[in-house]
């Protein structure tokens, strides 16, 4: 499976490390070149880019690790690039403001929101650690989603 993580802060980078440890191919996108360079150098991801379009058509799963105000903006910007069979999810803890809108925006793909109940007192890629998810609750917020899509997030 190929995964694109949009936003390589604490949560996004922690996902990247953990997913690579599980043998998945992980691409990382961030607006900060230093963050991308660090992620690549440390082996958190297979490839990086400032431009999501470099990877969107090649992945099975897109994990959006952005602030809530930026999620819909991202989805609207790239909505024509999402493909059938692709799962798009976010890690945001605030759902009501955008989830129903997000489902409509990604009409070609499947939107399935979730929230890992994890974090640290410090933020940013330099504090990333996949162990923050161990023992943490993981909430999946399905809205008319297929069971196989939910299983992807469970795994």
Helix (H) or strand (E) holding 2: strand 2-6
pLDDT along the chain (155 residues), means of 10: 97 96 97 97 98 97 93 95 95 80 89 84 86 86 91 91
CATH 2.10.10.90 corresponds to the domain 2-154 = no
Q: Which residues contact 5 (CB under 8 A, 6 or more apart)?
A: 12, 13, 15, 16, 19, 26, 27, 28, 29, 45, 62, 63, 65
Q: In this structure, what are the phi and psi dihedrals at residue 72, rounded to the nearest 5 degrees?
A: -65, -35
- pLDDT on residue 137: 84
Query: Are the CB atoms for 12 and 48 separated by under 8 Å?
Result: no
Query: How many other CB atoms sit within 10 Å of the CB of residue 78?
Result: 17
pLDDT attached to residue 56: 97
């Amino acid at each position: 499976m190929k995964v694109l993580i949009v936003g390589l802060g604490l949560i996004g980078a922690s996902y990247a490390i953990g997913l690579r440890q599980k043998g998945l191919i992980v691409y990382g996108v961030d607006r900060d070149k230093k963050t991308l360079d660090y992620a690549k150098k440390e082996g958190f991801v297979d490839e990086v880019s400032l431009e999501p379009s470099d990877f969107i058509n090649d992945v099975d799963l897109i994990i959006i690790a952005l602030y809530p105000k930026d999620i819909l903006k991202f989805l609207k910007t790239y909505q024509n690039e999402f493909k059938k069979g692709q799962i798009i999810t976010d890690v945001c803890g605030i759902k009501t403001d955008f989830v129903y809108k997000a489902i409509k925006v990604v009409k070609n793909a499947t939107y399935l929101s979730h929230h890992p109940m994890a974090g640290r007192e410090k933020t940013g890629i330099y504090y990333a650690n996949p162990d923050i998810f161990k023992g943490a609750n993981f909430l999946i917020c399905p809205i008319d989603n297929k069971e196989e899509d939910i299983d992807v997030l469970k795994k």
